[in-house]
Amino acid sequence: MNTADQETPSERKEFRRSGPHFADRITADGRDGWPVEAGRYRLVASRACPWASRALISRRLLGLEPALSLAITDPIQDERSWRFTLDPGDRDPVLGIAFLSEAYDARETGYPGGVSVPAVVDVPSGALVTNDFHRITLDLATEWTALQREGAPDLYPEEHRDEIDDVAEGVYRDVNNGVYRAGFAEHQDTYDDAYRRLFARLDELSERLSTRRYLVGDTITEADIRLFTTLVRFDAVYHGHFKCNRNKLSEDPVLWAYVRDLFQTPGFGDTVDFDHIKRHYYRVHTNINPTGIVPLGPDLSGWLTPHHREELGGRPFGDGTAPGPVPDGEVVPEAGRAV
């Protein structure tokens, strides 16, 4: 008898996302030994990764580009971790490294865990500071205020933090992480549970957003950023690749309009690279897609169609303003953009 047949559901393995090993914080008072300082740190991100995309969006909305430099990795990893093969000489021009794992090694020799993005690296030492994807964006919003642009929005307003945290927790558990639980499930009941929780939460969010433009309050907050990074990938990869196929996002009128509204807001869609997204998921996850074939679809033209969400009111940036043009060198290549 197959050993899997003898397992009970509680004994069966399911996808679990490990917590950050390096959880130091960069703060205004430097209490962890890492003070906020313009030009000292470098954000390493992959445009393929939804967790890293949070940091890309927050950095852009807050206008932190001059203070926090950016390294974009190749969307295709190998056994040596995230690579800087998009840069001349296959090395990051600021850190001088070929693989992100080198910054991890500079922080802790022989670190046994995975090498993840987003990661913030201390430029002078070349050592990793943090890979805490949950905390990085919150600190950009609350600890880096002295270096934010004039007119930067408040992405984590104090009066709404409890509600933002509550909404974001459900989104993380059932949506952000839920698609992975479904996609990497090794047993039917694990997949079934993740699938049902995912679509139950999406239905709940659709109902919530049917009468309000944003998830919490009348402005864009951290909660919207966290939901957006999964929704923008849904039809391109999660629907087919991760078997989250009850319906496409584009078949839900509310969520499809909501995500298009955000996509068309400066700071969101201009950080999205659909080419990187598709090539990463379909070529790296060989256990799910052993042929490595990257689908040509879906059609991306719908992302720029009218959404009419402004009829619900709301002020995208609150008392602030929209970010300016994307800095030179950070524009998403044409191959990855919606047209």
Annotated ligand binding at 51? The verdict is: no
Structure tokens, 295:
């689908």
DSSP SS3 for 215: coil
Angstrom distances, CA of residue 60 to CA of 11, 25, 145, 154, 222: 43, 20, 13, 13, 13
CB 317 within 8 A of CB 267: no
Cα angle, residue 221 at apex, residues 215 and 226 outer, rounded to 5°:
75
Whether 244 is catalytic is no
The CA-CA-CA angle for residues 245, 249, 250, to 5°, reads 120
- The dihedrals phi and psi of 177, each to the nearest 5 degrees, come to -90, -20
Q: Which letter does DSSP use for residue 108 in this model?
A: S
Which of the residues 49, 195, 214, 282 is marked catalytic?
Answer: 49
Whether 49 is a known active-site residue: answer yes
SS (H, E, C) 221-278: CHHHHHHHHHHHHHHHHHCCCCCCCCCCHHHCHHHHHHHHHHHCCCCCHHHCCHHHHH
| Annotated binding-site residue numbers | 82
Report, as residue numbers or ranges, the catalytic residues: 49, 180
Can you say which residues are annotated as belonging to the binding site for glutathione? 82
